Structure 1
Amino acid sequence: MATYHRASVGPHWRGIRAHLGAERSRRGTVMLDRDVDGLLAGLHRTIRWTPPVLRIDCDPSMDGDFVLDGRGLVLKPSFFLRTPAVMHDARDAAECILIYPAPVGPDQGPGVWAAGPPAGALGNLLGRTRASVLTAIADGVTTTGALAGRLDISAAAVSQHTAVLREAGLITTRRHHGNVLHNPTETGLTLLSRPNR
């Protein structure tokens, strides 16, 4: 298993972790904008939220009701699962974990599977780190903290690079409930040869 991981997953682990970080950030923004109802309603096509019941179509062998009765529900995005799964310890149901698929769109896939920073002319033009910041933002990594984690640089360095990218008209930045969110502009997407959103 370790050999398989090194060969097929390990080289892409940073991109996978960054994708999951971006998914958590996105879900946090949804919760801030639309409350818990909006968050639960949009997790996955097989998850339906009709307050106070959360119906999850997953493994048929797990058919039944699980009453939280005041216990927490932990949401965990998964890169590899394609259908939701529920985990809980029947002997000690202190918390229930709902693992849901983190979707990988066509614009995000290249960033997850690409090994290393952007190469070629873009890296030469902008500098490799700044090109990596722009690429990560286009992949959906929108917060300064998530960018720092994906690129393994400090938040202060991210702020310096995003300031330059913003001045050049390649990204926009806005505050949202205490978070700083970065998004690519049409010019930034064009520079990356990405379709405009």
Structure 2
Amino acid sequence: MGEIRFGVDDLAHLRFAVSPLWESVAALRASADPGGHALHLPWIKTASALGRERTDLLPHLPGLEAHAPPPRCPLAEIEEELTAFTGPPEHAEALLAWWRAGVRPYWPRIRAVLEADLAYRTRQLAEDGIQEVFAHLHPSLRWAEDRLTGPGLPTGGLALDGGGLTLAPSAFTNRCVLLLPRRSEPGPPPCLVYPARAVGTLWERRAEPEDGLARLLGRSRAGLLGRTSVPTTTTDLALQTGLSPGAVSQHLAVLRDAGLVTSHRYRREVYYRASELGRALLGQTS
């Protein structure tokens, strides 16, 4: 049993993030343990047959976890994260190949689950405070006074010293893992990875839009609207639907002009999300 000690500044610097690199490592572990990750069996059946990279990486799983860096920004790219990876270069290259073959084809739906979790946690933080966030991250964690305790945390205790902590949900882990920055240079704060909510929905078959909504908007636009319950990019929507990015952009422009989706830019990408009116049409009350 270990602990993380917080100061006032650390609570003010609490962050949330998604880490494609960690998801690649955690997915690799899940693919090697079907019995412990039964929810992922539909994906594991495909992933287990993928590439020599997976077979070569499996013996090095503990080291891969130890060398995975904390994410530097909320929506990091795996290529950026690999620049801070402290393992052997050949492992970094194999991880990137594994990501491209085993994880990236499914990333839009994986990221949708992760971002839905982040939306839930940030709303919980705003409404109920940090104690409630920590109380519901994982049954093994306990928050008391100024510290978080649980298995897998540093046994000697970790004082954050004002740098804060990043929280990152994971679709492929069923435990909490602490990712630490390299000590030799300044970097991002430590990151606590925890199991995401609603992972059971990850591999469900996606329902087609109801006929009434499809007749109103057209089947393509209704389908796109249904996939914007969480912030989503044009590229992700194109991968999910099989439509060209140009066609997706045109349909999204119509939905945005009608007030059914909103958009915001983060770094180099524009994210689309169903508006309150759009969610009402989809029958989503929250």
**Cα displacement (A) at 1:8:** 3.6
2:174 corresponds in structure 1 to: 82
* Mapping 1:161-172, distance limit 5 Å: 163=260
In the alignment, which of 157, 161, 164 is matched to residue 72 of structure 1? 164
1:16 corresponds in structure 2 to: 110
Question: In the alignment, is the contact (CA less than 8 A) between 2:179 and 2:191 conserved in 1?
Answer: yes
1:47 corresponds in structure 2 to: 141
* Mapping 1:90-169, distance limit 5 Å: 91=183, 95-107=189-201, 109-110=203-204, 118=208, 125=215, 126-137=218-229, 141=230, 146-148=231-233, 151=237, 159-160=256-257, 163=260
Q: What are the superposed Cα offsets for residues 5-44 of structure 1, whole Å, 9 maximum, x if unpaired?
A: 4454232111112221222122111111112222222212
Q: What are the superposed Cα offsets for residues 88-136 of structure 1, whole Å, 9 maximum, x if unpaired?
A: 247358622111111235445426xx6xx95896895442232232255
- Amino acid across the alignment from 1:15: R
Question: In the alignment, is the contact (CA less than 8 A) between 2:121 and 2:133 conserved in 1?
Answer: yes
**Cα displacement (A) at 1:54:** 0.5
**Cα displacement (A) at 1:188:** 3.3
Question: In the alignment, is the contact (CA less than 8 A) between 1:122 and 1:131 conserved in 2?
Answer: no
Distance in 1 separating the partners of 2:173 and 2:132: 22
**3-state SS of 1:19 partner:** helix
Where does structure 1 lack aligned partners over 5 or more consecutive residues? 165-170, 175-181, 190-195
Alignment: residue pair count: 164
Distance in 2 separating the partners of 1:50 and 1:130: 47
1:167 corresponds in structure 2 to: none
**3-state SS of 2:158 partner:** coil
Question: In the alignment, is the contact (CA less than 8 A) between 1:118 and 1:128 conserved in 2?
Answer: no
Question: In the alignment, is the contact (CA less than 8 A) between 1:134 and 1:184 conserved in 2?
Answer: no
**Cα displacement (A) at 1:162:** 6.0
Distance in 1 separating the partners of 2:126 and 2:255: 24
Identical positions, percent? 23
Q: 1:79 to 1:108 in 2, by over 3 A?
A: closer
Q: TM-score, normalised by structure 1?
A: 0.61
Q: TM-score, normalised by structure 2?
A: 0.45
Question: In the alignment, is the contact (CA less than 8 A) between 1:134 and 1:188 conserved in 2?
Answer: no
Where does structure 2 lack aligned partners over 5 or more consecutive residues? 1-52, 54-95, 239-247, 262-273
Structure with higher Rg: it is 2
**3-state SS of 2:222 partner:** helix
Distance in 2 separating the partners of 1:58 and 1:122: 50
Q: 1:56 to 1:128 in 2, by over 3 A?
A: farther
Larger RCO: Structure 1 or Structure 2 (Cα < 8 Å, ≥ 6 residues apart)? 2
In the alignment, which of 118, 121, 131 is matched to residue 37 of structure 1? 131
- Amino acid across the alignment from 2:128: R
Q: 1:9 to 1:129 in 2, by over 3 A?
A: farther
